[in-house]
Chains A and B, each alone.
With several copies, the nearest count.
Chain A
């Protein structure tokens, strides 16, 4: 049986991709940001997930105005980095996991989520920057990825409640997948930022930290935050945080924080990052993952 062993929240600022690609990740500006991911990179070596369900939003890269899906799940074999205006990022292609992705897609539709199935698309910084933050610069990404693209650009995005519920249904779907897979789910985007208009540059560290506080534990009150509160408190692009709720919903009733990092600024944005473990009596011990993996080279 496949199981969701961890959830990761992370900003996905495009400039972090640039910093990584140009080797500036330890300079004065970026050093403190990347340092907050060092714990996670080490931890990840022991965890060795087989698949990441990577919740992100497309930033007008794969989807233009002709087709705007609320929830799009990538069921393809392979995804190329998008050319976002300065050429594609020089990072490896992303390998999909069509077996798991189709299983989740089918299960979600039976559970009355109105998914859009995607078989071919380019993936932009929303997906590739978190991979760089968590894995650095490998020749190839060390695991498969199921992209889950959420519309947070054209209004209205899905409600926080709907996102949380989607996470809950994803958990159920993963647990009914017969193969023994170590699956992580990542929620990306945020934290507070506004990229447009005279109000651009807004940062709300207090609100962000309260959001991080409430992400762990056994309350689900984050799901009830209305969109307008994200916009007022965390800037127009702070709405991306609804995607973290899909991740959180997939961890079950309770989750504990293993690691937490917050830094201002990166470009226009407040960086937030958290590693969470489901805390519903599973008692995950990932030390076995290493052994299992090394047996099959």
Chain B
């Protein structure tokens, strides 16, 4: 395992279609993630569901982050520093499953995604490294 943090972090950006939750993303997404985590009580979920915009405005998030939440655009949430385990509180609030929420990030509809999973999932071939194209 490499002990040079720069090389270590650079490698993490070399994986196709993947945003690893590094310090950089953790810092950018800090309040987005803290907002999502606030949905861990029924009382918060009710307040959020009643008026999403007002609930979001109580958090020091960027407008882009708020809009990504309102749109349930999970890829955009990830781009803006969201982490999937934090965001899972949001899709649990919506009452949708982990698999369905995840499928929205793949460009597939849920049914096709489910079929892909039932057939053994996405192959790692060609998905390992951007640089090495393998």
Q: Which residues of A are interface residues toward B (Cβ below 8 A)?
A: 14-15, 59-61, 64-65, 75, 82-87, 98, 102-103, 105-107, 110-111, 119, 153-156, 159-161, 173, 176, 192, 194-205, 207, 224, 226-228, 231-233, 235-237, 264-265, 267-268, 270
Contacts and interface: CB of A to CB of B under 8 A. Distances in A.
B121 A264 contact: yes
B129 to A, nearest CB: 6
B55 interface: no
Contacts of A235: 124
Contact of A226 (B2, B30, B102, B123): B2
Interface in B119-134: 120-124, 127-129
A227 B1 contact: yes
Interface in B1-29: 1-6, 8-9, 11-12, 15-23, 26-27
Given A85-B93, A110-B5, A202-B123, 4 more contacts: A64-B33, A64-B34, A85-B89, A106-B5
Given A102-B27, A155-B20, A196-B19, A267 B98 contact: yes
B90 A85 contact: yes
B40 A83 contact: yes
Contacts of B2: 110, 226
B11 A228 contact: yes
Given A87-B42, A110-B8, A65 B98 contact: no
Contacts of B88: 59-60, 84-85
Most central of B23, B39, B41, B97 by chain A CB within 10 Å: B23
Main secondary structure of the interface of B (DSSP, over half): helix
Contact of A236 (B4, B15, B89, B95): B15
B45 interface: yes
Contacts of A198: 16-17, 75, 105-107
Contact of B98 (A15, A160, A207, A264): A15
Given A154-B21, A155-B20, A203-B122, A161 B117 contact: no
B12 A231 contact: yes
Contacts of A199: 15-18, 106, 122, 127
B12 to A, nearest CB: 7
Closest 4 CB pairs of A and B: A85-B92, A203-B121, A199-B17, A198-B17
Given A84-B40, A199-B122, A200-B103, A236 B128 contact: no
Nearest to A227: B1
B105 A200 contact: yes
A226 B19 CA distance: 18
Contacts of A103: 5, 23
Given A155-B23, A231-B15, A233-B128, A268 B99 contact: yes
Most central of A103, A197, A227 by chain B CB within 10 Å: A197
A273 B11 CA distance: 30
A232 B128 contact: yes
B23 A226 contact: no
B18 A85 contact: no
Contact of B40 (A14, A85, A197, A227): A85
B83 interface: yes
Given A106-B23, A161-B1, A268-B117, A195 B92 contact: no
A28 B99 CA distance: 18
Contacts of B23: 75, 102-103, 105-106, 154-155
B54 interface: no
Given A106-B23, A203-B122, A60 B42 contact: no
Contacts of A201: 102-103, 106, 113, 116-117, 121-122
